Structure 1
């Protein structure tokens, strides 16, 4: 997956916006983080349970990374190159469902 493909995927969710803050590009829905592009072919996903972060890092250390700061913040860093669009969409969709307004979510699901 390229950064351009990742950007398009993030912005495919209703009301998703892009901005720049603290040295990276963010994608938000309803004012809450969905993900960030960190540069260097890396992105991070938010709203990932600590147990899942640990499992991902252990199972695929070439793709996923997280130190204690990221784990405790429920985030995981991913290398985009080995990441499939399907996997990225799964992370983003789960987070979107966590943060979207109920009316937006209902319309999107309908």
Structure 2
């Protein structure tokens, strides 16, 4: 999986746009941070992953999921795109998108995709 694959999936969701976060290109949903890729082009920064879930993911697949000291105290996980299954990233991105979306938009989106 590449960041372009992530972008292609994310742009299927209403309200997703390119943006910047701390001087780096990122994706935003409804004006809120959705995800970004590190300068290495392979590490995806994924917010909205609680500490327990993060620990389980890292324990299950330490070559794929990890966290640095910078993110240790925040509900974020880092993902190696070259090792992860697309469906896993898509589920995490959609979950984060849903957390940022207005209820009216969620209802309309869910009605369209049902």
Per the alignment, in what secondary structure is the counterpart of residue 72 of structure 1?
coil
CA distance in 1, matches of 2:5, 2:59: 26
> 3-state SS of the aligned residue for 1:35?
strand
Write the mapping of 1:26-105 to structure 2, written as runs, cut at 5 A.
26-40=26-40, 41-105=42-106
Report what 2:109 is aligned to: 108
**Compared CA separation, residues 68 and 50, structure 1 to 2 (3 A):** farther
Aligned length: 110
Q: Secondary structure at the match of 1:39?
A: coil
Structure 1, gaps ≥5 residues long = none
Query: Is the 1:65–1:78 Cα contact (8 Å) retained in structure 2?
Result: yes
Instruction: Report the TM-score when normalising by structure 1.
Output: 0.90
Q: CA deviation at 1:23?
A: 4.1
- 2:24 is matched with 24
> Hey, what's the Cα distance between the residues in 1 that align with 2:61 and 2:25?
25
**2:44 alignment partner, SS class:** strand
Provide closer, same or farther for how the CA distance between residues 8 and 72 of structure 1 changes in structure 2, counting only shifts above 3 A: same
Root mean square deviation of aligned Cα = 1.4
1:13 aligns with 2:37: no
